[in-house]
Chains A and B, each alone.
Chain A
Amino acid sequence: MPEPDVTPIEVRESTLPGVGKKYVMPLATGGNVAIVVRPDGQRQVFHFLPEEDRPCDVVTLTRDEGQQLANLLGAPMVASPDLDKLELVLGALEIEWVPLEDDCDLVGRTLAESRLRRRTGASVVAILRGDTALPNPDIDVTFEAGDTLLLIGSDEQTRAARALIEGGGA
Chain B
Amino acid sequence: MSPALQLGVMAFALYVAAWGSQKLGVSSIVGFISVGVLLGPGGVIPVFAVTDVTHLLAELGLLLLLFYLGLEFSIPRFLEGGRATLVAGTIDLVHLPVGFGLGLLLGFGALGSAFLAGALYISSSGVIAKLLAERDLVANPEAERTLGVLVFEDLAMVVVLGGLGIATVGGDASRFLGVGVVLIAYVLLVRFGRRGLERLLSREGEALVLLLLAMLVLVSLGAKSLGFPEAVAAFLLGMLVSESSYRVRVETSLASWHAVEAAVFFFDVGLHVTLGSALRVLPAALLLLVVTMVVQLATGFMSGRLTGLSARGSIGHGLMLLPRGEFSLVVVGLAAGAQAIAPDVRDALYATVSWYVLFTVVLGSVVFSRYDGWSESLGRWLRSPAARRREEQRQRDLDAMRLD
From known contacts A39-B251, A99-B245, A166-B199, infer whether A18 and B125 are also in contact, taking CB-CB under 8 Å: yes
Kindly identify, within residues 14 to 72 of chain A, every residue whose CB is under 8 Å from any CB belonging to chain B: 14-20, 22, 34, 36, 38-39, 44, 46, 48, 53-55, 58, 60
Measured between beta carbons, the chain A residues less than 8 angstroms from B312 are 53-54
Residues of B within 8 A of A167 (CB): 195, 199
- When the two chains form their complex, are residues A17 and B245 in contact, meaning their CB atoms are under 8 A apart? no
Q: Count the A-B residue pairs with Cβ separation under 8 angstroms: how many?
A: 76
Q: Across the interface, do A168 and B195 meet the contact criterion of CB distance under 8 Å?
A: yes
* Shortest Cβ distance from residue B374 to the other chain A in the assembled complex, whole angstroms: 12
Contacts A17-B150, A54-B312 hold; do A46 and B198 have CB atoms under 8 A apart?
Answer: no
Contact A17 B310 (CB under 8 A): no
Q: How large is the interface on B (under 10, 10 to 19, 20 to 34, 35 or more residues)?
A: 35 or more
Q: Residue of A at shortest CB range from B199?
A: A166
Instruction: Tell me the bound Cα distance from A17 to B33 in angstroms.
Output: 25
Please measure, in the bound complex, the distance between the C-alpha atom of A58 and the C-alpha atom of B132, giving whole angstroms.
14
The reply to whether the CB of B129 lies closer than 8 angstroms to some CB of chain A is: yes
Residues on A with C-beta less than 8 A from B252 are: 39
B395 to chain A, nearest CB (A): 13
Shortest beta-carbon distance from B106 to chain A in Å? 32
How near does chain A come to B249, taking the closest CB pair, in angstroms? 5
Q: Which of B103-135 contact A (CB under 8 A)?
A: 125-126, 129-130, 132-133
Q: Assess the A19–B133 pair: CB atoms within 8 A.
A: yes
Contact residues in B for A14 (Cβ distance below 8 Å): 80, 144
Cβ contact within 8 Å between B77 and A46: no
Known: A53-B310, A166-B195, A167-B195. A19 touches B372 (CB 8 A): no
Residues of B within 8 A of A82 (CB): 248
A84 touches B (CB below 8 Å)? yes
What are the residues of chain A within 8 A of B275 when measuring CB–CB? none
Known: A36-B139, A46-B139. A19 touches B147 (CB 8 A): yes
> Does residue B404 face the partner (Cβ distance < 8 Å to A)?
no
Knowing A15-B80, A39-B248, say if A54 contacts B140 (CB, 8 Å).
Answer: yes
- Check: A77 CB closer than 8 A to any chain B CB: no
Minimal Cβ-Cβ distance residue in B for A168: B195
Question: Residue among A18, A19, A60 with the most chain B CB within 10 A?
Answer: A18
Query: Please, how many angstroms separate the alpha-carbon atoms of A140 and B404 in the complex?
Result: 72
Q: How far is the CB of A33 from the nearest CB of chain B, in Å?
A: 9
Known: A53-B310, A53-B312, A166-B198. A18 touches B129 (CB 8 A): yes
The 8 A-B residue pairs with the shortest CB-CB distance in the complex, in nearest-first order: A18-B129, A46-B139, A34-B139, A18-B72, A17-B77, A17-B72, A58-B136, A17-B73
**Taking beta carbons and an 8 Å cutoff, which residues of B are in contact with A?**
72-73, 77, 80, 125-126, 129-130, 132-133, 136, 138-144, 147, 150-151, 195, 198-199, 245-246, 248-249, 251-252, 309-310, 312-313, 372
Q: A16-B138, A53-B310, A84-B249 are in contact. List 14 more A-B contacts (CB 8 A).
A: A15-B80, A17-B72, A17-B77, A17-B150, A18-B72, A19-B132, A19-B133, A19-B147, A34-B139, A53-B313, A54-B372, A99-B245, A166-B195, A167-B195
A-B residue pairs in contact (CB < 8 Å), sample of 10: A15-B77, A16-B138, A17-B150, A17-B151, A18-B73, A18-B147, A39-B251, A53-B313, A166-B195, A166-B198
